[in-house]
Amino acid sequence: MKVFKRIAIFMISVGSLLITSCNQVDQNQSQFDSAAQLQLPKYSNLSVVRLYTGHGKCGDVLIPSITRAVAPQDRETLLRNIMKKEGWVIISAFSTKEAFDQRTCDSFPDRAPAFKTGYIGKIDEDGKFYD
């Protein structure tokens, strides 16, 4: 009977230790997520629209502190973090309001110089990043 009690106590101790460890991992992940969100530069939403397909929302953001000089992979990561925070499935980003105003000319950047210099990037519904 003593052996059974010792085994039971050991099992309870190990179980408690595992639960405590899992809890700590969850807390660390949550702190990491919060820290990542705190590192987002200041941005403002220019437009937010629910997709007609019903698969979420898309939005346009203005991020004045980011330019095309920032590496494409860093801009992509930033846009993905904003999408996650906002709960969007599509995002387009601009560093100037003028670029946003000329976005309909994106296939003719030579006719829309403000778009060419102020466009930061886009992530479509399939998750593809466009520089």
Question: Which tens digit of pLDDT belongs to each residue from 4-50?
Answer: 555 555 555 544 444 444 444 444 444 444 444 458 999 999 999 99
Cα–Cα distance measured from residue 62 to residue 95, given in angstroms and rounded to the nearest whole number: 6
So what's the pLDDT on residue 67?
93
Query: Do 95 and 117 share a structural domain?
Result: yes
Report whether pLDDT(122) > 90: yes
Cα–Cα distance measured from residue 127 to residue 80, given in angstroms and rounded to the nearest whole number: 9
Cα–Cα distance measured from residue 101 to residue 41, given in angstroms and rounded to the nearest whole number: 22
- CB 91: neighbour CB atoms within 10 A? 22
The answer to whether residues 80 and 96 touch, using CB atoms and an 8 Å cutoff, is no
Query: Do 23 and 56 share a structural domain?
Result: no
So what's the pLDDT on residue 28?
44
Query: Do 2 and 50 share a structural domain?
Result: no
Query: Do 105 and 60 share a structural domain?
Result: yes
Its domain, for residue 53, covers 42-130
Query: Do 52 and 31 share a structural domain?
Result: no
So what's the pLDDT on residue 39?
83
N-to-C CA span, the chain: 70
